[in-house]
């Protein structure tokens, strides 16, 4: 099977009070993903053509390297999340046996599902912040901080998946199959980042761009962020 990158331009979570996931219930979560895959797609889904700036540019990825490419796409270069760290953050102790009964592919789908929920919730919170105020009151600032927390959780989970691949817990075929089962689409991340960028620029707020460096003068060690599944 040949895979391609689809670089067609796009317009670019689970609620904070949700309990840790059980590893069983998430598999039944109904997901609707609009638009074409922005990440790893099959030839048929990346074969669309257009004109001018809308034209899709295909870059063929050999089969032997698809898993590594997907893992790298999930990796957060500023984090060093371990697979067990991501799992322990979202799978309750009483659900560990059920979690271990899942295949590696199913486990990745579960983590992608939870990350997607965090992203959706973060985007909703950010888009609910008005842009016509002179500044943020305490309620709106709490909304922004909660959105960035949910966003951080989503990124930690995907970074954990990349770590699982690097640690040999998830194989190439399992990772690719999970991404296809989930129908992963980077458009949801892009939408989240657009909403964050708009709010942060409107109110001159510090934030860490996706895969980038925190926009602040503080020392890096002071900016360490942990997963907060509360």
Q: State how far the alpha carbon of 159 is from the alpha carbons of 7, 72, 77, in Å.
A: 22, 9, 9
pTM above 0.85, yes or no: no
**Tens digit of each residue's pLDDT, the chain (230 residues):** 333 333 333 343 333 444 445 444 444 444 444 443 444 333 333 344 444 444 444 445 445 556 787 888 888 877 789 999 999 999 999 999 999 999 999 999 999 999 999 999 999 999 999 999 889 999 999 999 999 999 999 999 999 999 999 999 999 999 999 999 999 988 899 999 999 999 999 999 988 777 643 333 344 444 445 555 54
CB 30 within 8 A of CB 180: no
Query: How far apart (Å, rounded) are the C-alpha atoms in residues 205 and 227?
Result: 21
Q: What is the pLDDT of residue 60?
A: 52
Q: What is the pLDDT of residue 68?
A: 80
Q: What is the pLDDT of residue 71?
A: 86
Residues 6+ apart with CB under 8 A from 217: none
Q: What is the pLDDT of residue 18?
A: 47
Query: How far apart (Å, rounded) are the C-alpha atoms in residues 106 and 144?
Result: 32
Residues 6+ apart with CB under 8 A from 227: 85, 86, 89, 152, 153, 156
Q: What is the pLDDT of residue 21?
A: 52
| CA-CA-CA-CA torsion sign (227, 124, 146, 21) | negative
Query: Tokens standing for 196?
Result: 């964050």
Based on C-alpha coordinates, what's the Rg of the chain? 18
Q: What is the pLDDT of residue 226?
A: 55
């Amino acid at each position: 099977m040949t895979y391609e990158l689809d670089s067609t331009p796009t317009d670019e979570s689970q609620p904070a009070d949700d309990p840790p996931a059980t590893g069983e219930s998430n598999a039944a979560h109904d997901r609707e993903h609009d638009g074409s895959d922005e990440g790893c797609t099959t030839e048929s889904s990346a074969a669309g053509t257009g004109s001018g700036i809308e034209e899709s540019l295909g870059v063929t990825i050999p089969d032997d390297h698809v898993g590594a490419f997907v893992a790298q796409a999930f990796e957060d270069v500023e984090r060093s999340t371990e697979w067990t760290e991501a799992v322990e953050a979202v799978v309750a102790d009483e659900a560990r046996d059920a979690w271990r009964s899942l295949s590696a592919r199913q486990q990745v789908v579960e983590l992608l599902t939870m990350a997607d929920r965090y992203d959706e919730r973060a985007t909703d919170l950010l888009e609910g912040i008005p842009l016509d105020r002179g500044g943020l009151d305490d309620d709106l600032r709490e909304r922004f901080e909660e959105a960035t927390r949910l966003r951080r959780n989503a990124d930690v989970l995907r970074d954990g998946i990349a770590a699982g691949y690097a640690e040999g817990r998830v194989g190439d075929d399992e990772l690719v199959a999970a991404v296809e089962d989930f129908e992963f689409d980077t458009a949801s991340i892009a939408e989240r980042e657009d909403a964050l960028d708009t709010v942060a620029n409107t109110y001159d707020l510090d934030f860490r761009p996706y895969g980038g460096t925190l926009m602040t003068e503080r020392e890096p060690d002071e900016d360490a962020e942990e997963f907060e599944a509360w």
